Structure 1
Amino acid sequence: MDKILVVAPSWIGDCVMAQPLLARLKARPRPPRIDVLAPAWSAALFKRMAQVDAVIENPFPHGSLKLLDRLRLGRRLAAARYDQAIVLPNSLKSALAPFFARIPVRTGYVGEARYGLLNDARRLDKTELRLLAERYAALAEPAGAPLARPLPYPHLMVDAAARRATLTRLGLEGDGPVAVLCPGAEYGPAKRWPAPHFAALSRALARRGYAVWLVGSAKDREIAQEIAAAARNQGTAPVFDLCGKTSLEEAIDLVSAARLVVSNDSGLMHVAAALDRPLVALFGSSSPAYTPPLSSRARVLHLGLPCSPCFKRVCPLGHFRCMLDLTPDRVLEELARLVPGGDP
């Protein structure tokens, strides 16, 4: 059996979009063993992917060189005798450990001039491979070979017992209809739908009998508190602010319990897609042509303004119309098309 080490990216969404690559590798006539070198926080994602045999912790924070420590890690990896390493990040640092481990075939895109570190260095054709998931999956093919399409969609496994335990710990009921709203976006405020819009949507969903859960990281607490407070002021059913109160694994459990999800372009958007939840994904400053949610049950809302996508952290023109003009009523209309019966 061949043994392949995949060096994972650092962002949640990018990790999810790496799964089609893993599926292509496992679909080979002789399925290889696949180990993933990933940050500790993303281990929960890869443990939910059926193609992954083991997760090895990558101990280096984003941007940290620590050359001697990477040499030590490479020597530890050498003991596993991998046949190939596939390096997904484009940084020079990410290619060091496979090089130090003397893995015979080291595959990846040229990136930061990594010719010496990668001996199977590919040049990226961005016109041919528009989606990030396609760019990753193409590394499973021999150099120069076209990417076979369509790609398999990402899929995260669900543990029903773990989900029940998460709901119990948080004092939540999962019996009635649940709407999960993901108001955060790590990159910056230009990717975030405004809090008053999320609050209006929360009120509309609560009136229709939904329990509304706000799910995100500790960095999303401020906007989540604003949403929950605005919903309370209107006298609607309570909105459960769960941002920063769960691990990533527990957040996956919560999203898996949802009847519908509304999310900014964020890591949790990709998690919801990989859990096959009915999903409305809100795009403003970023582009759905590059990192769309990969699911047949996902719908993208993007106004396509002349100034969008700008890929800025904050609206450079100061008007933020790409998100402000995307109204709660428009989102409700899209949800009605997704949910059986035509009315969320």
Structure 2
Amino acid sequence: MAANGKKILVVGPSWVGDMVMAQSLFMALKRRQPACRIDVLAPAWSFPLLDRMPQVSKAVAMPLTHGQFGLSIRRKLGKQLHGERYDQAIVLPNSWKSALVPFFAAIPRRTGYLGELRWGLLNDARKLDKTKLKMTVQRFVALAFPAQDMESPPECPIPELTIEPANQQAVRDKFQLGDNGPVLALCPGAEYGPAKRWPAEHFAELAKRKLGEGWSVWLFGSEKDREVADRINQLTAGSCRDFSGQTSLAEAVDLMSLADVVVSNDSGLMHVAAALNKKLVAIYGSSDPGFTPPLNSAAKIIDLKLDCSPCFARECPLGHTHCLTRISPDRILAAID
């Protein structure tokens, strides 16, 4: 048992942005109980993020991918974790299956929102009041406190990823990066769907303007973002450095820490940039900046607040995506400058 009587297992989320926001919970737990130990059960891809969160003692790999049920695998993992003698589990996902491992591990206090009727699997089940806890990060942080203490939204610490200079130098060496003046990082992807993606043509125009001012422009994203990154590079005569699909998540985080300004759609990389305390311009279309904003007060949010948004759709129901196309590159430039 950890000092102060707390050894906590957090069942983490399965998305980059949510995992960054989960750091606010870890920070809140440490503020309340400085000597507590926090382990996080999470997908292996998220370990580079957890490695950069000093509040986390250990990351435990969830062997199943998002959406897989795998009852026998969850039972086996729970039995293995039983020997860790955790005092509490905090389950961040709302699915029924996500509460199984702490149940099989016989962790005495299992905290989370009721979600998919998880009475029994959770013995500290909370009913989520979405009118009180409007933001995802508030819902996470509220679980650090007893239910009776949540009469108002909790104070949410700002995520802060720790970057080692040696890691920065490693990516400089691997990708042969010199000192080429200020760097603009562009994150043109959004896995959720096209209704969250500012047009590639707008990103390209922004890139051309900054290239003309002597900036370097780096493109970030996963393998799924290669097409939009290629389009931007075609429109800029190949003048951008394209890292999409070329880096691990760890390398992407360390590369982004070298940027001077980040312009991003509402995506996981947007939350990474905010947690790196970058000068950030965040572009919102179908999603709501009141629900999942970048958790950094210095970030600038661009949102047209049209009558039809936020609609939370993957593709524009009206077929025009005016909430994004009508955000001009000039407006983003003004926000940067």
What TM-score does the superposition give when structure 1 sets the normalisation length?
Answer: 0.95
**8 Å CA contact 1:107, 1:122 repeated in 2:** yes
- Matched with 1:339 is none
- Matched with 1:329 is 330
- Matched with 1:301 is 302
**How far off is 1:84 after superposition?**
0.1
Q: Which amino acid aligns with 2:61?
A: E
- Pairs within 5 Å for 1:154-193: 154-174=159-179, 176-193=181-198
Bigger shift: residues 22-31 or 311-320: 22-31
- Matched with 1:121 is 125
Alpha-carbon deviations, 1:19-38, whole Å to 9, x = none? 11101111124521000001
- For residues 70 and 149 of structure 1, what CA distance do their matches in structure 2 show? 32
Secondary structure of the corresponding residue to residue 110 of structure 2:
strand
Q: 1:145 to 1:198 in 2, by over 3 A?
A: same
- Matched with 1:133 is 137
- For residues 225 and 296 of structure 2, what CA distance do their matches in structure 1 show? 25
> Is there any run of 5+ residues in structure 1 with no aligned partner, and where?
337-344
- Pairs within 5 Å for 1:144-155: 144-146=148-150, 149-155=154-160
Alpha-carbon deviations, 1:117-170, whole Å to 9, x = none? 000000011111111000000000001212564321000001111111112211
- Equivalent of residue 227 in structure 2, options 213, 222, 226: 222
Q: Which amino acid aligns with 1:296?
A: S
- Equivalent of residue 41 in structure 1, options 45, 50, 71: 45
- Equivalent of residue 100 in structure 2, options 90, 96, 101: 96
- For residues 13 and 280 of structure 1, what CA distance do their matches in structure 2 show? 16
- Matched with 1:280 is 281
Bigger shift: residues 163-172 or 320-329: 163-172
Q: Which amino acid aligns with 1:231?
A: T
- Matched with 2:270 is 269
> Is there any run of 5+ residues in structure 2 with no aligned partner, and where?
none
**How far off is 1:216 after superposition?**
0.7
Bigger shift: residues 148-157 or 194-203: 148-157
**8 Å CA contact 1:25, 1:31 repeated in 2:** no
Runs (4 or more) in structure 1 with deviation over 4 Å come to none
Q: Which amino acid aligns with 1:311?
A: F
- For residues 83 and 185 of structure 2, what CA distance do their matches in structure 1 show? 44
**8 Å CA contact 1:265, 1:286 repeated in 2:** yes
**8 Å CA contact 1:71, 1:97 repeated in 2:** yes
Query: Quick check: 1:18 aligned with 2:22?
Result: yes
- For residues 242 and 295 of structure 2, what CA distance do their matches in structure 1 show? 27
Q: CA RMSD in A?
A: 1.1
**8 Å CA contact 2:142, 2:154 repeated in 1:** no
**8 Å CA contact 1:261, 1:278 repeated in 2:** yes
Equivalenced residues, count: 332
**8 Å CA contact 2:196, 2:284 repeated in 1:** yes
**How far off is 1:261 after superposition?**
0.3
- Equivalent of residue 203 in structure 2, options 198, 217, 240: 198
**8 Å CA contact 2:10, 2:92 repeated in 1:** yes
Alpha-carbon deviations, 1:231-285, whole Å to 9, x = none? 118xxxx111110000000000111001100000000000000000000000000
**8 Å CA contact 1:4, 1:82 repeated in 2:** yes
What TM-score does the superposition give when structure 2 sets the normalisation length?
Answer: 0.97
Alpha-carbon deviations, 1:197-217, whole Å to 9, x = none? 000000011111110000110
Alpha-carbon deviations, 1:275-321, whole Å to 9, x = none? 00000000000000100001122010000111111111111101110
- For residues 29 and 253 of structure 1, what CA distance do their matches in structure 2 show? 30
Query: Quick check: 1:71 aligned with 2:55?
Result: no
Q: Which amino acid aligns with 1:103?
A: I
**8 Å CA contact 2:188, 2:197 repeated in 1:** yes
Q: 1:113 to 1:308 in 2, by over 3 A?
A: same
Q: 1:210 to 1:19 in 2, by over 3 A?
A: same
- Matched with 1:247 is 248
Alpha-carbon deviations, 1:153-188, whole Å to 9, x = none? 000001111111112211222452111000010101
Q: Which amino acid aligns with 1:304?
A: K
- For residues 17 and 23 of structure 1, what CA distance do their matches in structure 2 show? 10
- For residues 210 and 93 of structure 1, what CA distance do their matches in structure 2 show? 48
- Matched with 1:3 is 7
Q: 1:203 to 1:246 in 2, by over 3 A?
A: same
**How far off is 1:322 after superposition?**
0.5
**How far off is 1:323 after superposition?**
0.5
- Matched with 2:35 is 31
